[in-house]
Structure 1
Amino acid sequence: MFDKRSNIAAQEAFGEAINTGDVDRFDNLVDPSSVDHDPAPGQQPGPAGYKAFFAEMRTAFPDLHVEVETLVADDDQVAIAYTLTGTHEGPFQGHQATGRSVNIRGMQISRFVDGKMTERWGSSDELGIVTQLGLTG
Protein backbone atom coordinates (compact mmCIF):
# COMPACT_ATOMS: atom_id res chain seq x y z
CA MET A 1 0.00 0.00 0.00
CA PHE A 2 1.24 3.48 -0.85
CA ASP A 3 0.39 6.33 1.51
CA LYS A 4 2.35 9.56 1.18
CA ARG A 5 1.44 10.77 4.68
CA SER A 6 2.54 7.59 6.46
CA ASN A 7 5.77 7.57 4.43
CA ILE A 8 6.56 11.15 5.43
CA ALA A 9 5.76 10.26 9.05
CA ALA A 10 8.11 7.26 8.83
CA GLN A 11 10.88 9.45 7.35
CA GLU A 12 10.39 12.00 10.13
CA ALA A 13 10.48 9.22 12.76
CA PHE A 14 13.72 7.94 11.19
CA GLY A 15 15.27 11.39 11.70
CA GLU A 16 13.97 11.57 15.28
CA ALA A 17 15.58 8.18 15.99
CA ILE A 18 18.91 9.54 14.74
CA ASN A 19 18.59 12.75 16.77
CA THR A 20 17.61 11.00 20.01
CA GLY A 21 19.85 7.97 19.62
CA ASP A 22 16.83 5.65 19.96
CA VAL A 23 18.12 3.34 17.22
CA ASP A 24 15.78 0.51 18.26
CA ARG A 25 13.01 2.48 16.52
CA PHE A 26 14.53 1.39 13.20
CA ASP A 27 12.99 -2.06 13.79
CA ASN A 28 9.56 -0.49 13.21
CA LEU A 29 10.63 1.90 10.46
CA VAL A 30 12.79 -0.24 8.17
CA ASP A 31 11.67 -3.41 6.41
CA PRO A 32 13.88 -6.43 7.29
CA SER A 33 14.69 -6.90 3.58
CA SER A 34 15.37 -3.20 2.97
CA VAL A 35 18.21 -2.48 0.55
CA ASP A 36 20.58 0.44 1.08
CA HIS A 37 22.04 1.24 -2.33
CA ASP A 38 24.73 3.43 -0.73
CA PRO A 39 25.65 1.60 2.49
CA ALA A 40 28.43 2.55 4.84
CA PRO A 41 31.45 0.22 4.66
CA GLY A 42 30.48 -3.09 6.27
CA GLN A 43 26.87 -2.03 6.83
CA GLN A 44 24.47 -4.96 7.21
CA PRO A 45 21.12 -4.90 5.41
CA GLY A 46 17.82 -3.99 7.05
CA PRO A 47 17.24 -2.36 10.43
CA ALA A 48 20.36 -3.95 11.96
CA GLY A 49 22.60 -2.08 9.55
CA TYR A 50 21.08 1.30 10.37
CA LYS A 51 21.12 0.54 14.11
CA ALA A 52 24.83 -0.36 14.08
CA PHE A 53 25.81 2.58 11.86
CA PHE A 54 23.95 5.24 13.83
CA ALA A 55 24.97 3.79 17.21
CA GLU A 56 28.59 4.14 16.03
CA MET A 57 27.98 7.66 14.76
CA ARG A 58 26.33 8.70 18.05
CA THR A 59 29.33 7.30 19.96
CA ALA A 60 31.64 9.43 17.83
CA PHE A 61 29.26 12.42 17.78
CA PRO A 62 27.02 12.26 20.89
CA ASP A 63 25.21 15.45 19.84
CA LEU A 64 24.63 14.18 16.28
CA HIS A 65 21.71 16.02 14.74
CA VAL A 66 20.07 15.77 11.33
CA GLU A 67 17.98 18.73 10.20
CA VAL A 68 15.80 18.28 7.14
CA GLU A 69 16.05 21.36 4.94
CA THR A 70 13.79 20.19 2.11
CA LEU A 71 11.37 17.29 1.77
CA VAL A 72 9.58 16.16 -1.39
CA ALA A 73 7.32 13.11 -1.53
CA ASP A 74 5.16 11.16 -3.92
CA ASP A 75 3.10 8.04 -3.25
CA ASP A 76 6.00 5.71 -2.40
CA GLN A 77 9.17 7.82 -2.15
CA VAL A 78 10.42 10.58 0.13
CA ALA A 79 13.41 12.71 -0.86
CA ILE A 80 15.20 14.92 1.63
CA ALA A 81 18.08 17.37 1.63
CA TYR A 82 19.57 17.67 5.10
CA THR A 83 22.28 19.17 7.24
CA LEU A 84 24.15 16.93 9.66
CA THR A 85 25.96 18.44 12.64
CA GLY A 86 27.87 17.05 15.59
CA THR A 87 30.91 17.34 17.83
CA HIS A 88 33.62 14.68 17.57
CA GLU A 89 33.85 13.36 21.14
CA GLY A 90 34.46 9.63 20.56
CA PRO A 91 36.30 7.24 18.22
CA PHE A 92 35.53 7.73 14.53
CA GLN A 93 37.00 5.59 11.73
CA GLY A 94 39.97 4.68 13.90
CA HIS A 95 40.63 8.26 15.05
CA GLN A 96 40.37 9.50 18.60
CA ALA A 97 38.13 12.44 19.45
CA THR A 98 39.27 15.82 18.16
CA GLY A 99 36.64 17.95 19.89
CA ARG A 100 35.95 19.58 16.53
CA SER A 101 32.47 20.16 15.12
CA VAL A 102 31.19 19.11 11.72
CA ASN A 103 28.48 20.64 9.59
CA ILE A 104 27.80 18.83 6.32
CA ARG A 105 25.03 18.47 3.78
CA GLY A 106 23.51 15.37 2.27
CA MET A 107 20.60 14.05 0.24
CA GLN A 108 18.54 10.88 0.52
CA ILE A 109 15.74 9.23 -1.40
CA SER A 110 13.84 6.47 0.35
CA ARG A 111 11.17 4.13 -0.98
CA PHE A 112 8.44 2.99 1.41
CA VAL A 113 5.85 0.23 1.43
CA ASP A 114 3.22 0.18 4.18
CA GLY A 115 5.10 2.92 6.05
CA LYS A 116 8.43 1.05 6.17
CA MET A 117 11.61 1.91 4.29
CA THR A 118 12.33 -0.71 1.65
CA GLU A 119 15.09 1.03 -0.33
CA ARG A 120 17.43 3.95 0.22
CA TRP A 121 19.77 5.94 -2.01
CA GLY A 122 21.87 8.68 -0.47
CA SER A 123 24.93 10.82 -0.46
CA SER A 124 26.60 12.72 2.38
CA ASP A 125 29.67 14.94 2.30
CA GLU A 126 31.98 12.31 3.83
CA LEU A 127 35.09 14.21 2.69
CA GLY A 128 33.68 17.27 4.44
CA ILE A 129 33.52 15.34 7.72
CA VAL A 130 37.14 14.18 7.68
CA THR A 131 38.33 17.58 6.42
CA GLN A 132 36.49 19.46 9.17
CA LEU A 133 37.93 17.04 11.74
CA GLY A 134 41.46 17.65 10.41
CA LEU A 135 41.89 13.99 9.46
CA THR A 136 42.97 14.49 5.84
CA GLY A 137 46.59 14.30 4.72
Structure 2
Amino acid sequence: MSSIESNKAIARRFLELVSEHKIEELCKMVSPSWTMHGGPPALPSGPDGIRKLFGTFGAIEQEWTIEDVISEGDKVVVRATNTCDQASFLGIPSHGRKQTFTAMFIHQIADGKIIETWRNADDLGRLLQLGARFEPGTPQAST
Protein backbone atom coordinates (compact mmCIF):
# COMPACT_ATOMS: atom_id res chain seq x y z
CA MET A 1 0.00 0.00 0.00
CA SER A 2 1.40 3.42 -0.92
CA SER A 3 2.03 5.97 1.81
CA ILE A 4 -0.80 8.10 0.39
CA GLU A 5 -3.23 5.18 0.62
CA SER A 6 -2.05 4.24 4.12
CA ASN A 7 -2.41 7.89 5.22
CA LYS A 8 -5.97 7.93 3.86
CA ALA A 9 -6.71 4.75 5.84
CA ILE A 10 -5.35 6.40 9.00
CA ALA A 11 -7.55 9.48 8.48
CA ARG A 12 -10.64 7.32 7.90
CA ARG A 13 -9.89 5.21 10.98
CA PHE A 14 -9.50 8.35 13.09
CA LEU A 15 -13.12 9.39 12.43
CA GLU A 16 -14.38 5.82 12.88
CA LEU A 17 -12.79 5.76 16.34
CA VAL A 18 -14.26 9.18 17.16
CA SER A 19 -17.73 7.82 16.25
CA GLU A 20 -17.07 4.77 18.44
CA HIS A 21 -15.76 6.97 21.29
CA LYS A 22 -12.58 4.87 21.55
CA ILE A 23 -10.36 7.45 23.18
CA GLU A 24 -7.37 5.29 24.04
CA GLU A 25 -7.21 3.85 20.51
CA LEU A 26 -7.24 7.42 19.18
CA CYS A 27 -4.41 8.28 21.56
CA LYS A 28 -2.31 5.55 19.92
CA MET A 29 -2.86 7.17 16.50
CA VAL A 30 -1.37 10.56 17.36
CA SER A 31 2.22 11.56 17.94
CA PRO A 32 3.38 12.82 21.35
CA SER A 33 3.53 16.32 19.82
CA TRP A 34 0.08 16.18 18.09
CA THR A 35 -1.72 19.51 18.01
CA MET A 36 -5.22 20.46 16.87
CA HIS A 37 -6.16 23.79 15.32
CA GLY A 38 -9.81 24.86 15.25
CA GLY A 39 -10.87 22.86 18.28
CA PRO A 40 -11.26 23.90 21.90
CA PRO A 41 -8.61 26.36 23.06
CA ALA A 42 -5.56 25.30 25.07
CA LEU A 43 -5.62 21.58 24.26
CA PRO A 44 -2.42 19.94 25.45
CA SER A 45 -0.20 18.18 22.93
CA GLY A 46 -0.35 14.49 22.11
CA PRO A 47 -2.63 11.90 23.67
CA ASP A 48 -3.48 14.20 26.59
CA GLY A 49 -4.98 16.56 24.01
CA ILE A 50 -7.21 13.77 22.70
CA ARG A 51 -8.35 12.96 26.24
CA LYS A 52 -9.08 16.62 27.03
CA LEU A 53 -10.90 17.05 23.70
CA PHE A 54 -13.25 14.20 24.56
CA GLY A 55 -13.65 15.63 28.06
CA THR A 56 -15.21 18.75 26.49
CA PHE A 57 -17.96 16.76 24.73
CA GLY A 58 -19.98 15.57 27.72
CA ALA A 59 -22.55 12.90 26.94
CA ILE A 60 -22.65 12.43 23.17
CA GLU A 61 -23.69 9.87 20.61
CA GLN A 62 -22.26 10.68 17.23
CA GLU A 63 -21.64 9.18 13.86
CA TRP A 64 -19.30 10.57 11.24
CA THR A 65 -20.05 9.86 7.59
CA ILE A 66 -17.05 10.42 5.37
CA GLU A 67 -17.91 12.18 2.10
CA ASP A 68 -14.45 12.72 0.57
CA VAL A 69 -10.84 11.84 1.33
CA ILE A 70 -8.12 13.64 -0.62
CA SER A 71 -4.42 13.16 -0.03
CA GLU A 72 -1.21 14.68 -1.27
CA GLY A 73 2.21 14.30 0.28
CA ASP A 74 1.91 13.98 4.05
CA LYS A 75 -1.52 15.65 4.31
CA VAL A 76 -4.98 14.09 4.12
CA VAL A 77 -8.18 16.14 3.83
CA VAL A 78 -11.41 14.56 5.04
CA ARG A 79 -14.81 16.12 4.36
CA ALA A 80 -17.45 14.55 6.57
CA THR A 81 -20.93 14.93 8.04
CA ASN A 82 -21.63 14.39 11.73
CA THR A 83 -25.01 13.41 13.11
CA CYS A 84 -25.04 13.62 16.86
CA ASP A 85 -27.15 13.71 19.97
CA GLN A 86 -25.36 15.82 22.57
CA ALA A 87 -26.88 17.33 25.71
CA SER A 88 -25.46 20.77 24.89
CA PHE A 89 -23.00 22.46 22.57
CA LEU A 90 -21.05 25.56 23.60
CA GLY A 91 -23.48 26.02 26.48
CA ILE A 92 -26.67 25.80 24.39
CA PRO A 93 -28.86 22.87 25.57
CA SER A 94 -30.11 20.52 22.86
CA HIS A 95 -33.50 19.77 24.45
CA GLY A 96 -33.23 16.37 22.75
CA ARG A 97 -32.63 17.76 19.25
CA LYS A 98 -30.22 15.85 17.05
CA GLN A 99 -27.71 17.94 15.17
CA THR A 100 -26.22 17.41 11.74
CA PHE A 101 -23.25 19.44 10.59
CA THR A 102 -20.39 19.27 8.14
CA ALA A 103 -16.70 19.50 8.89
CA MET A 104 -13.34 19.26 7.19
CA PHE A 105 -10.17 17.97 8.76
CA ILE A 106 -6.67 18.20 7.42
CA HIS A 107 -4.33 15.70 9.06
CA GLN A 108 -0.58 15.82 8.68
CA ILE A 109 0.76 12.30 9.02
CA ALA A 110 4.32 11.08 9.49
CA ASP A 111 5.55 7.56 10.21
CA GLY A 112 1.97 6.30 10.59
CA LYS A 113 1.02 8.88 13.26
CA ILE A 114 -1.11 12.00 13.03
CA ILE A 115 1.13 14.89 14.03
CA GLU A 116 -1.20 17.83 13.41
CA THR A 117 -4.91 18.32 12.71
CA TRP A 118 -6.73 21.36 11.38
CA ARG A 119 -10.52 21.40 11.93
CA ASN A 120 -13.10 23.60 10.23
CA ALA A 121 -16.72 22.79 11.12
CA ASP A 122 -20.12 24.43 10.76
CA ASP A 123 -20.39 25.23 14.46
CA LEU A 124 -22.64 28.24 13.79
CA GLY A 125 -25.11 26.09 11.84
CA ARG A 126 -25.08 23.60 14.68
CA LEU A 127 -25.87 26.31 17.26
CA LEU A 128 -28.75 27.52 15.11
CA GLN A 129 -30.13 23.96 14.99
CA LEU A 130 -30.19 24.04 18.79
CA GLY A 131 -32.24 27.24 18.76
CA ALA A 132 -29.50 29.74 19.61
CA ARG A 133 -30.40 33.29 18.70
CA PHE A 134 -28.01 36.12 18.03
CA GLU A 135 -28.64 39.82 18.46
CA PRO A 136 -26.66 42.56 16.81
CA GLY A 137 -24.37 44.46 19.13
CA THR A 138 -24.69 48.16 19.72
CA PRO A 139 -22.09 50.44 18.14
CA GLN A 140 -19.52 51.86 20.50
CA ALA A 141 -19.34 55.60 20.83
CA SER A 142 -16.32 57.22 19.24
CA THR A 143 -13.81 58.71 21.63
Structure-2-length-normalised TM-score: 0.81
Count matched residues: 133
Runs of 4+ with >4 A deviation: none
Taking structure 1 as reference, are residues 91 and 122 closer, same or farther at Cα in structure 2, changes over 3 Å only? Answer: closer
Paired letter, 1:135: A
Structure-1 residue corresponding to 2:119: 122
Q: Which residue of 2 aligns with 1:15?
A: 15
TM-superposed CA distance for 1:19, in Å, is 0.7
- The unaligned stretches of length 5 or more in structure 2 are 135-143
Q: 1:46 to 1:67 in 2, by over 3 A?
A: same
Contact 2:93 2:130 in 1 (8 A): no
Identity level (%): 28
- Give me the CA root mean square deviation: 2.0
Secondary structure in 1 aligned to 2:73? coil
Mark the CA change 1:54 to 1:66 in structure 2 (over 3 Å): closer, same or farther: farther
TM-score (norm 1): 0.84
Q: Report 1 or 2 for greater relative contact order, CA contacts < 8 Å, sequence distance ≥ 6.
A: 1
The alpha carbon displacement at 1:45 in A equals: 2.1
Identify the residue that residue 64 of structure 1 maps to in structure 2: 62
Deviations 1:78-117 (Å, cap 9, x if unpaired)? Answer: 11111111123x3443344410111111111111001111
Q: Secondary structure at the match of 2:28?
A: helix
Q: Which has the higher strand share?
A: 2
Which one has the largest radius of gyration? 2
Query: Which whole-Å deviations, capped at 9, do the CAs of 1:11-46 have from their partners, x for residues lacking one?
Result: 122111111111111221111101223231232222
Structure 1 portions without partners, runs of 5+: none
Structure with greater helix percent = 1
